[in-house]
A and B are shown apart, each in its own frame.
Chain A
Amino acid sequence: MKRKWNWALWVGLVFALAGLFSYELLSQFPITRDFPWANLLLFAIGGILLVLGLVRAFGNPRVYRGKIVGPIFTILSLLAFSFFAYALFYVVRQMPASMGAPRVGQKAPDFTLPDQNGKSVALADLLSNSSGALLIFYRGHW
């Protein structure tokens, strides 16, 4: 008798990989930016499907296939989740303390830097004829 395709394992892997690779896209939306709940949901669905697939493959091996791909897909999914958790819950929190950063009430250190068109911009220029300036320091694009 030909055994049945164990679809839960394949779909589970797809969900787990989607959980990892959709971060770049999902982090652009305010609703999923600060906390990656949508990615965690994808991982959770993937995990449930993989468990279901494994139960079928090992509990009912005469009916379902997947005793080889099941463990392989599960390990791949766990690796994807570990990498995601490491990057999102550990790496991004490794920030310098910045104890010497200007505090509320202190003078902002002056500076002059070129903008994207090569034009020189000084903090003093930004503050003249305005009600203030917002400085956004960012990590850069790479």
Chain B
Amino acid sequence: MRSFQNRLPDFESRSIRVVAISVDPIEASRAHCQKMGFKYPFLSDGNAEVIRRYDLLHVGGGPRHSDIARPAEFLIDSAGTVRWVNLTENAAVRARPDQVLKAFDEINGSAAR
């Protein structure tokens, strides 16, 4: 999360909108974003409806066996098509900004040709 905040200018210069999604309530996200200085949207999916729609529900994976989202990253193009996906098998290892930017540049480079 912090690494994406640090690299936000690189996403903005490519006109990519970065959003984070979790089951955290709005108030918790607001407090966390203020504390950490995160400027991009943190969306609150309290009942995990969207997380289920993306088949990312980690049943019992949260505190006191609550249901949460498993970490995952999707790059969507302006037509709404998924162009790149990262489904980690290790919750401690998540996508890095460089990986996503590289994927975006490769996709757009090949589209231009």
- Interface residues of chain A, those whose CB is within 8 Å of chain B, are 27-28, 30, 33-34, 36, 88, 92-96, 98-111, 113-118, 121, 123-124, 126-142
* A-side contacts of B2, CB under 8 Å: 28
Contact surface of B with A, Cβ cutoff 8 Å: 1-4, 11, 14-24, 26, 28-30, 32-33, 41-45, 49-51, 53-59, 61-63, 68-85, 87-96, 100, 104, 108
Number of A-B contacts (CB under 8 A): 208
Main secondary structure, interface of A, reads loop
The answer to whether B58 touches A109 (Cβ under 8 A) is no
B80 touches A121 (CB 8 A): no
- CB-based contact B21/A136 at 8 Å: yes
B3, B41, B70, B76: which contacts A98 (Cβ < 8 A)? B70
**Given the complex of chains A and B, what is the CA–CA distance between A132 and B81 in angstroms?**
9
Q: List residues of chain A with CB within 8 A of the CB of B61.
A: 94, 96, 139
Query: Contact at A132–B58, with CB atoms within 8 Å?
Result: no
With both beta carbons as reference points, the residue of chain A lying nearest to B83 in the complex is identified as: A104
